[in-house]
């Protein structure tokens, strides 16, 4: 379902895939080639949500802001895994957010980082670029090794391929 809220309608380019079961409401803008998968909720009713080009938000994820304080901003080539909650946070370019992770208000995930599956990133946490964070609460584990940035991009590219297949079936 795609619907307006308080007269603001989501912006979704034709190059994007949004599954029919996803809910995109209000002040949400998708950049070219973004994809939003089954049962994801992007609720732009209290603050804006911006999804960068070639990024994907996978099944059952929830994105929501904090009224008059924090929107949700996702950069380019970001993979948001299944059942992730992003609340009022920033995820910079080329990040992998693992399944079941929770990232809270005011947190910033630096470019080229991995947040491991099931990780809780507390409010206002700053994840330095090129980092691996794990745990609940999340903690810095190490800088990413050479080649791990390619792994992040592989996930994003996989979803670009899936997006094209699903668009062909429409």
pLDDT in tens, 20-51: 999 999 999 999 999 999 999 999 999 999 99
Residue 95 has which token pair? 């990040």
Phi, psi of 102 (to 5 degrees): -130, 125
Q: Is the pLDDT of residue 170 over 90?
A: no
Domain coordinates in residue numbering, the chain = 2-168
Residue 156 has which token pair? 């994003």
CATH superfamily of 2-168: Hexapeptide repeat proteins (2.160.10.10)
pLDDT, position 72:
98
pTM of the model: 0.97
């Amino acid at each position: 379902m795609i619907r307006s809220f308080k007269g603001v309608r989501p912006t979704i380019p034709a190059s994007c895939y949004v599954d029919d079961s996803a809910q995109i409401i209000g002040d949400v803008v998708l950049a070219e080639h973004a994809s939003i998968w089954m049962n994801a909720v992007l609720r732009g009713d209290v603050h804006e949500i911006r999804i960068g080009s070639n990024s994907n938000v996978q099944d059952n994820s929830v994105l929501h802001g904090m009224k008059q304080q924090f929107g949700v901003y996702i950069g380019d080539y970001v993979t948001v895994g299944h059942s992730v909650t992003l609340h009022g946070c920033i995820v910079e370019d080329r990040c992998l957010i693992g399944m079941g992770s929770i990232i809270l208000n005011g947190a910033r995930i630096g470019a080229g980082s991995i947040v491991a599956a099931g990780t809780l990133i507390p409010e206002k946490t700053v994840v330095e670029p090129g980092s691996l964070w794990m745990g609940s609460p999340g903690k810095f584990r190490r800088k990413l090794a050479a080649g791990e940035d390619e792994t992040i991009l592989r996930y994003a590219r996989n979803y670009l391929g899936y997006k094209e297949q699903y668009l062909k079936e429409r």
